[in-house]
Structure 1
């Protein structure tokens, strides 16, 4: 793979959202980063390549990260932040990386992370200034390096069975230390 081209695979469950949001994805890549982009229906790849107008040497990597974030389940608006800010990263891990869980135990761990009506997930996102996608047993976090670490610690504690109230308390103390 040469440096002027990237292919980003799109999972089957994200093809319909990709088609519905194609203009929102296509415009920032072509107008802001000045790269060429197309969706190959047969191979299910978003193909990105540089062109003579491309000025930014990191444009191809930023474009690939943006499309990858969308493919993982992030909203277009959240993924666009990857194009605008240099200090944003994407981190993914599996629940099994923290603790080997099966069946109902795995379901309960996912439930603890999401919380009632998604409240726990939203609280972690708001306190750590990150975006989180829970996709089956995989967790994807978008944010700055330090914020991803904080969010990952909170999620790991929930997977290990800590009470959400205790995790909230730890998050508040971590965020208070980080702001000063």
Structure 2
């Protein structure tokens, strides 16, 4: 049954009187929060329970003399700027890297190992040192036989197509894709960013499959123009 208007007004007055007669408990005062703890950042050797991290990079026979000539160019940025200890183990023929107590970042060790490894692949020091400066650089390697099985004169002609007359084709791909390419016999190493490596690899694979250099150049122009528009 719906209450009459007068009854509703009366009920509201009674409820207000009951509320006013009730004692409202005072809320307890909020205690101030304790200050946030401040922790000093851990040093690299402290992250691994005080143990130093190591890396070893093998030195191929044909890179032994170039390493000897460029040793100071490799040693200086690693030891002075990245704060990583480096030495050449003549008996094992390996370059050994180790963190120090004053190494600012644990990732410096892997960067230095990648830098030395890139030099062993055949890259110049001035090109490989970019691996220490930039984070988004990688080295990708593949062989001609991974793309197409070639033997004898066919393999020699494929290597010739990759380089071009006086290295013209290789330099054109490097300049268009902003990468560095090393052709060591049947192995190919590409240094650059992920997207640029893909473009350079596609161009090199087209040359291996038998495409003429002119056709590869025109494709490169179209792809690089598209990349320039994107950025």
- TM-score, structure 1 length as denominator? 0.98
Give the Cα separation in 1 of the matches to 2:159 and 2:102: 45
Displacement of 1:31 after TM fit?
Answer: 1.0
Give the Cα separation in 1 of the matches to 2:118 and 2:170: 18
Superposed CA offset, 1:98-157 (max 9, x none)? 001111111100000000000000000000000000000000000000000000000000
Displacement of 1:73 after TM fit?
Answer: 0.2
Aligned residue number for residue 106 of structure 2: 57
Aligned residue number for residue 77 of structure 2: 28
Query: Secondary structure at the residue paired with 1:86?
Result: coil
Residue 86 of structure 1 pairs with residue 135 of structure 2: yes
Give the Cα separation in 1 of the matches to 2:97 and 2:200: 31
Residue correspondences, number: 179
Query: Secondary structure at the residue paired with 2:129?
Result: helix
Which of 149, 153, 174 aligns to 1:125? It is 174
Give the Cα separation in 1 of the matches to 2:182 and 2:52: 29
Aligned residue number for residue 174 of structure 1: 223
The structure number with the bigger radius of gyration is: 2
Give the Cα separation in 1 of the matches to 2:56 and 2:102: 20
Residue 76 of structure 1 pairs with residue 125 of structure 2: yes
By relative contact order (CA 8 Å, sep 6+), the higher-ranking structure is 1
Moved over 3 A (4+): none
Aligned residue number for residue 146 of structure 1: 195
Whether the 8 Å CA contact 2:52–2:100 is kept in 1: the answer is no
Query: Secondary structure at the residue paired with 1:42?
Result: coil
Give the Cα separation in 1 of the matches to 2:223 and 2:191: 18
Residue 135 of structure 1 pairs with residue 135 of structure 2: no
Displacement of 1:3 after TM fit?
Answer: 7.5
Consecutive unaligned residues of structure 1, counting only runs of 5 or more, are none
Give the Cα separation in 1 of the matches to 2:151 and 2:132: 38
Residue 45 of structure 1 pairs with residue 79 of structure 2: no
Aligned residue number for residue 19 of structure 2: none
